[in-house]
Amino acid sequence: MFNKLICAAEAISHYTGKCVAWFTLAMMLLTCFIVLLRYGFGIGSTAMQESVLYLHAMVFMLGAAYTLKDDEHVRVDVFYRGFSVTKKAWVNIIGGVFFLLPFTLYTAYLSLDYVSASWRVMETSAEPGGLPFVYLLKTLIPIMMVSLILQGTADILKNIGVINAARSPINRHAKGQN
């Protein structure tokens, strides 16, 4: 059952991460187009500038679980890199249980009122000519938290499997520790 949960969470993170990676290309092309319009033709567009902001938010917020899945997140790596696989698994479990999950659960909880207030008024940009989708942008906050909770839980379960595999009698026998 845990393997199915791990595989499902990682598949969601992987698919989402691969899709949002394309947003970086769109963001770069749109930025070039904005610069060309502004400095080449003297035309400015608040909506296009905000679109780059929205794309950046989507890349960051929807790609966070993918980054966690691939173990590419920011980590103070002074001791970790020299740890054995089992010690790394313990660090990942402790970090997930005591830092990642409480932070994401609390942030998800806090974001609900913030996002629902934005949806109630269908919040739009404060800038003239801006995008009318601020409520959708704010919705990325709880979505990010849910995706990190799913991926963090899968990561914790995977690391528990690493520790259990290291403790198994077959593994200890193969290492001559029987």
| 126-145 pLDDT tens trace | 999 999 999 999 999 999 99
pLDDT at 110: 97
Whether the per-residue pLDDT at 15 is higher than 60: the answer is yes
Alpha-helical regions (H) of 39-100: 41, 46-69, 85-95
Instruction: Say how many C-beta atoms besides its own lie within 10 A of residue 68's C-beta.
Output: 20
Inter-residue contact 86 to 166 (CB < 8 Å): yes
Longest CA–CA span in the chain (Å) reads: 77
Please report which helix (H) or strand (E) contains residue 102, including its range: helix 101-120
Cα distance between residue 130 and residue 98, in whole Å:
40
- Give the separation between CA 124 and CA 28, rounded to whole angstroms: 24
| Contacts (Cβ under 8 Å, ≥6 apart) of 132 | 122, 124, 125
Please indicate whether residue 159 or residue 1 has the higher confidence score (pLDDT): 159
As a whole number of angstroms, the distance between CA 59 and CA 26 comes to 11
